[in-house]
Amino acid sequence: MSSIDDLFQNLKANGQKAFMPFITAGDPDLGFSAEILKGLDATGCHMVELGIPYSDPIADGPVIQASYTRALNGGTKLKNIFAMCDSVAAEIKMPIVTMVSYAIIFRMGVDEYLQQAKAVGVAGAIVPDMPVDESAEFAAKCKAHDFSLIQLITPTTPRERAIEIAQQTTGFIYYVSIAGITGERTELPADLVDNLKWLRTQTDLPICVGFGISSPEHAEVLKPVCDGMIVGSAIVRRIAKAATEGASPEEVLADVSGFASTMLNAING
């Protein structure tokens, strides 16, 4: 089993849910990203989604788009991101999952990407621009490398297609809570809980919810019907203070860790 499979098995045995923050690699620089990863791990986060900056982000709202722009303008490259992952691999327990465009994987070469990612401790990938109809070959290669391919299901995904996506997914299903872009929300969609309950009847895979999750109140609503929660913009907005407001690394780390602790307490408290 992959480290992601092990994680969810252990969480289930202990009656817990996963908390998975998202950060952008290289925002504001890779040294800071390494410190954020270590801080999130020390706080008790279970897994982290590491965004690979891309010039044409898919479904990302303004907060994450801006973080990608800052990282790219700072010269962040995939090889340097992998080197950063390698530098922290021995110091953190939580699995790293990359959010990465297939264009980046294709440019490097599928086998090379999988080999390099595994070598530096990356456990899986979320590939938002890969339709399930075209994912069979890539999914097979991921399985051969014991590398989780996490695929997305949205509120507008037809149910037959949702079942097909679940069958091609390993690690966990990423359920997109809203039909739209990433970003903090004050309210969750009224039909979200019912959609998650239906999906739970169709698959044994863990189901994690992302997009718009940003408060302990959201966690209270969702924890009975999912296996984990992904929080992006609320984390990235705090990290952005280092680049846009002149906040010190120590201030940002304390802010991010404090928010992560609050969410962890809401999810598993």
* pLDDT at site 189: 63
| Mean pLDDT, the chain, whole residue set | 92
- Locate 202 and state its tokens: 């169709």
Tell me the CA end-to-end span of the chain in Å, nearest whole number: 28
Do residues 232 and 243 make contact, with C-beta atoms less than 8 angstroms apart?
A: no
pLDDT range class, residue 252, cuts 50, 70, 90: very high
128-137: per-residue pLDDT in tens? 999 888 899 9
Residue 182's pLDDT band (cuts 50, 70, 90) = low
Spatial distance between the Cα atoms of 46 and 209, rounded to a whole number of angstroms: 14
Q: What is the pLDDT of residue 183?
A: 47
pLDDT score of 199: 96
CB 191 within 8 A of CB 237: no
Domain coverage including residue 45? 3-268
H/E stretch holding 180? none
Q: What is the mean pLDDT of residues 243-257?
A: 93
Nearest-10 crossing angle of helices 30-43, 78-88: 40
The H or E element that residue 150 is part of is strand 148-150
Contacts of 68 (CB under 8 A, 6+ apart): 24, 27, 51, 53, 54, 55, 57, 60
Of 29, 41, 49, 227, the active-site residue reads 49
Side chain identity at 127, as an amino acid letter?
V
Tokens of 201: 């009847």
The tokens of 24 are what?
Answer: 């952008």
pLDDT tens readout for residues 126-161: 999 998 888 999 999 999 999 999 999 998 999 999
The pLDDT value recorded for residue 229 is 96
Structure token digits, residue 205 = 């895979």
When pLDDT is averaged across residues 55-62 and rounded to a whole number, the result is 74
Concerning whether 27 is annotated as a catalytic residue, the answer is no
Find the catalytic residue in 60, 129, 194, 255. Answer: 60
For position 195, which CATH number holds? 3.20.20.70
pLDDT digits (tens, 9 = 90+) for 184-212: 455 666 789 899 999 999 999 999 999 87
Whether 240 and 184 have beta carbons less than 8 Å apart is answered as: no
Structural domains counted in the chain: 1
124 beta partners? 97, 148
Residue 49 appears among annotated catalytic residues: yes
pTM of the model: 0.93
User: 95: closest CA among 115, 124, 117, 116?
Assistant: 124
Q: Which pLDDT score is estimated for 185?
A: 53
- By percentage, how much of the chain surpasses pLDDT 70? 94
pLDDT at 187: 61
Nearest to 45 by CA among 22, 68, 14: 22
φ, ψ of residue 181 in degrees (nearest 5): -95, 170
74 in Cβ contact with 29 (< 8 Å):
yes
Q: Say what angle helices 110-119 and 136-144 make with each other, to 10 degrees.
A: 40
CA distances from 21 to 37, 116, 157, 167, 255 (A): 10, 23, 24, 25, 14
pLDDT for the residue numbered 1: 72
3-state secondary structure labels for all residues of 1-27: CCHHHHHHHHHHHCCCCEEEEEEECCC
Mean of pLDDT values over 206-230: 92
